[in-house]
């Protein structure tokens, strides 16, 4: 028997409320704005398709992280570009920074670009951990998303942060 | 630069405009994917069940033609029905064990690895659970016919019998080859990828 149709209002409000997760996951797991847009579309589709199985056992954000990261970890670039859900002009590669002067904003943008570049160069699970950590999730929440124990999350995060710091060393020198 | 700087930059990043969900497109994509998936699944199930039932029907016909002497055909029918049952069991097993995209990452990766390993085992042993029962059923059928109508059957001629055996050997070899290719090209690379993922996830050093 096919699952009941997903609730459109729940879907719309969740995507609106948590669109930052989709944008960040898409950008962290792809190398170009076009791929990020493709992945973002797949993330939305996967959320839509998985919504009937949501039982309220996890917070919506935790659930969305799981769906998005599971999808991103196994995502492959499609051979044919699908119709975009983003405006063709929307440049996902260079997002502006909030509440800063033009010079500060440019600096922020450069730092963000370097940060994303470093994340994209990391092993895929390190990307997951760094992304969740940068988004401010507690160890317990990261453990819920990944299925690891909190202790393991702590150890793995230390490693991932160290790796990110090494990758950002050159970038930071450039920025400073 | 330290972690706090990264966190601050990360939290200050502005989200791009124009990513709002386009529900009609999503619905259409979802429905198209569902239709495609259900269609493919239905075709596969019908092909497997239909082929099995067609062979069973043919064997029942042979048995009926051979009358009492056709009793060995019961074994051939049992082999084919067993094979159909095996396919059905596999289909239910895969559906029961499949984890959704909302499962924790480690659980999802481990479930996918387990499923791929299982598929790999099936492909490696295809000769035992698929080719051998088919060959057995064909051998029983031939033996039953030869036993019942020794004077008529052209398979009594060694050249014809050899050609018959060579034909089925070739078909079975091709089936085995296709399965090996699927193992090499699809299952093993995917398994390596997922095992690497799990290793990354579990390595704390």
Looking at this predicted complex, what is its ipTM?
0.73
Give the distance, in angstroms, between the CA of residue A92 and the centroid of all CA atoms in the same chain.
12
Q: What is the DSSP string of chain B?
A: --HHHHHHHHHHBPPPSS----HHHHHHHHHHHHHHHHHHHHHHHHHHHHHHHHHHHHHHHHHHHHGGGGTTHHHHHHHHHHHHHHHHHHHHHHHHHPPPTTS-HHHHHHHHHHHHHHHHHHHHTHIIIIIHHHHHHHHHHHHHHHHH-TTT-GGGSHHHHHHHHHHHHHHHHHHHHHHHHHIIIIIHHHHHHHHHHHHHHH---
Name the more confident of B187 and B157.
B187
DSSP letter at A5 equals P
Calculate the alpha carbon distances from B98 to A58, A82, A161, B109, B151 in Å.
20, 27, 33, 11, 55
Nearest Cβ partner for B10 among A63, A115, A176: A115
- Partner A, chain B 56-115, Cβ-Cβ below 8 Å: 100-109, 112
With CB atoms and an 8 Å threshold, state whether B101 touches A95: no
B 36-65: CB under 8 A from A = 38
Domains parsed from chain A with CATH numbers? 1-80 (1.10.1740.10), 100-176 (1.10.10.10)
Q: What's the pLDDT score for residue A119?
A: 92
Q: Which residues of A touch B109 (CB under 8 A)?
A: 73
Residue A87 confidence (pLDDT): 41
With a cut of 70, say whether residue B84 has pLDDT above it.
yes
Q: Answer yes or no: do A115 and B103 touch at CB < 8 A.
A: no
Identify the closest residue of chain A to B105 by CA–CA distance. A146
- The verdict on a CB contact (< 8 Å) between A22 and B205 is no
User: Which pLDDT score, from 0 to 100, does residue B38 have?
Assistant: 74
Structure tokens at B151: 């004077």
CB B89 within 8 A of CB B167: no
**Does residue B191 carry a pLDDT above 60?**
yes
**What's the whole-number average pLDDT of chain B?**
84
**Of the partner residues A112, A155, A165, the one whose CB lies closest to the CB of residue B13:** A112
Look at residue A162 and give its three-state secondary structure.
Answer: helix
Pick from B57, B47, B91, B76: nearest CA to B138: B76
Q: Sign of the C-alpha dihedral, residues A14, A28, A46, B108?
A: negative
- Tell me which residue of A76, A65, A72 sits closest to A147, measured CA to CA: A65
Name the residue in chain B with its Cα closest to that of A111. B9
Global pTM value: 0.74
pLDDT in tens, B88-144: 888 888 888 888 888 899 998 999 899 999 999 999 999 999 999 999 999 998 888
A residues 70..89 contacting B (CB < 8 A): 70-71, 73-74, 83, 85-87
B201 CB neighbours in chain A (<8 A) are 125, 146, 148, 156
Q: Do A70 and B102 touch (CB under 8 A)?
A: yes
pLDDT at B178: 93
Task: State how far the alpha carbon of B205 is from the alpha carbons of A152, A159, B200, in Å.
Answer: 10, 7, 10
Tell me, what's the pLDDT at B27? 72
Which among A63, A95, A156 has CB closest to B204? A156
Distance to chain B for A90, nearest Cα, Å: 7
Residue A20: partners with Cβ closer than 8 Å, 6 or more residues away:
A135, B15
Which range among A109-118, A130-139, B38-47, B77-86 shows the weakest confidence by mean pLDDT? B38-47
Which residues face A97 on adjacent strands? B13
Chain B residue nearest residue A38, CA to CA: B19
Measure in Å the smallest separation between the Cα of A96 and chain B Cα atoms: 6
- Name which of A45, A69, A161 is nearest B30 (Cβ-Cβ): A45
Give the least confident one: A72-76, B9-13, B95-99, B201-205.
B201-205
| Residues of chain A found within 8 Å of residue B106, distances taken between Cβ atoms | 146-148
B198 Cβ contact partners less than 8 Å away, ≥ 6 residues apart: B106, B109, B110, B113
What gap in Å lies between CA A75 and CA A71, rounded to an integer? 6
Q: What are phi and psi of A135, to 5 degrees?
A: -80, 0
Whether A66 has its CB under 8 Å from any CB of chain B: the answer is: yes
B156-185 residue pLDDT tens = 778 887 888 899 999 999 999 999 999 999
Asked if B11 reaches chain A (Cβ–Cβ under 8 Å), the answer is: yes
How far apart CA B27 and CA A7 sit, in angstroms, is 12
**Residue B108 · residue B97 · CB < 8 Å:** no
Q: What are phi and psi of B73, to 5 degrees?
A: -60, -25
Distance CA B156, CA B154 (A): 5
Distances from the Cα of A127 to the Cαs of A40, A53, A115, B14, B204, in angstroms? 17, 26, 11, 20, 14
Nearest CA in chain A to B205: A159
Query: What integer pLDDT is reported at residue A84 of this predicted model?
Result: 42
Give me the tens of pLDDT residue by residue for chain A, a chain 176 residues long. 444 545 778 888 888 888 889 999 999 999 888 899 889 888 988 888 888 888 888 889 999 999 999 999 888 765 444 444 444 334 444 444 455 566 666 777 788 888 999 999 988 888 999 999 999 999 999 999 999 999 999 998 998 888 898 888 866 555 55
């Amino acid at each position: 028997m096919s699952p009941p149709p997903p609730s459109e209002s729940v879907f719309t409000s969740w995507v609106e409320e948590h669109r930052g997760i989709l944008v960040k996951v898409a950008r962290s797991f792809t190398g170009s704005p076009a791929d990020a847009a493709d992945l973002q579309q797949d993330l939305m589709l996967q959320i839509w398709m998985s919504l009937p199985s949501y039982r309220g056992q996890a917070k919506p954000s935790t659930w969305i992280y799981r769906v998005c990261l599971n999808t991103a970890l196994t995502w492959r670039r499609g051979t044919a570009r699908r119709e975009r859900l983003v405006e063709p002009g929307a440049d996902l590669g260079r997002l502006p920074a909030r509440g800063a002067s033009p010079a500060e904003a440019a600096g922020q943008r450069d730092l963000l670009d370097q940060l994303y570049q470093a994340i994209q160069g990391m092993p895929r699970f390190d990307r997951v951990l760094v992304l969740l950590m940068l988004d401010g999730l507690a160890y317990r929440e990261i453990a819920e998303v990944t299925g690891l124990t909190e202790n393991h999350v702590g150890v793995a995060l230390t490693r991932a942060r160290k790796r990110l710091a090494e990758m950002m060393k050159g970038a930071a020198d450039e920025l400073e | 630069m330290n972690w706090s700087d990264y966190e601050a930059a990360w939290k200050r990043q502005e989200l791009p405009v124009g990513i709002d969900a386009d529900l009609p497109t999503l619905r259409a994509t979802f429905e198209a994917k569902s239709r495609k998936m259900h269609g493919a699944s239905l075709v596969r199930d019908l092909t497997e069940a239909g082929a099995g039932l067609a062979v069973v029907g043919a064997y029942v016909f042979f048995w009926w033609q051979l009358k009492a002497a056709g009793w060995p055909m019961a074994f051939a029918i049992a082999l084919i029905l067993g094979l159909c049952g095996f396919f059905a069991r596999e289909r239910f097993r895969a559906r029961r064990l499949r984890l959704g995209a909302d499962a924790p990452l480690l659980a999802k990766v481990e479930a996918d690895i387990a499923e791929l390993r299982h598929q790999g085992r099936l492909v490696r042993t295809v000769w035992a659970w698929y080719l051998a029962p088919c060959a057995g059923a064909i051998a029983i059928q031939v033996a039953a016919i030869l036993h019942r109508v020794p004077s008529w059957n052209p398979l009594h001629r060694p050249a014809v019998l050899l050609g018959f055996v060579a034909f089925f050997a070739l078909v079975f070899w091709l089936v085995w080859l296709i399965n090996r290719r699927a193992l090499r090209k699809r299952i093993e690379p995917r398994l390596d990828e997922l095992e690497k993922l799990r290793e990354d996830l579990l390595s704390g050093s």
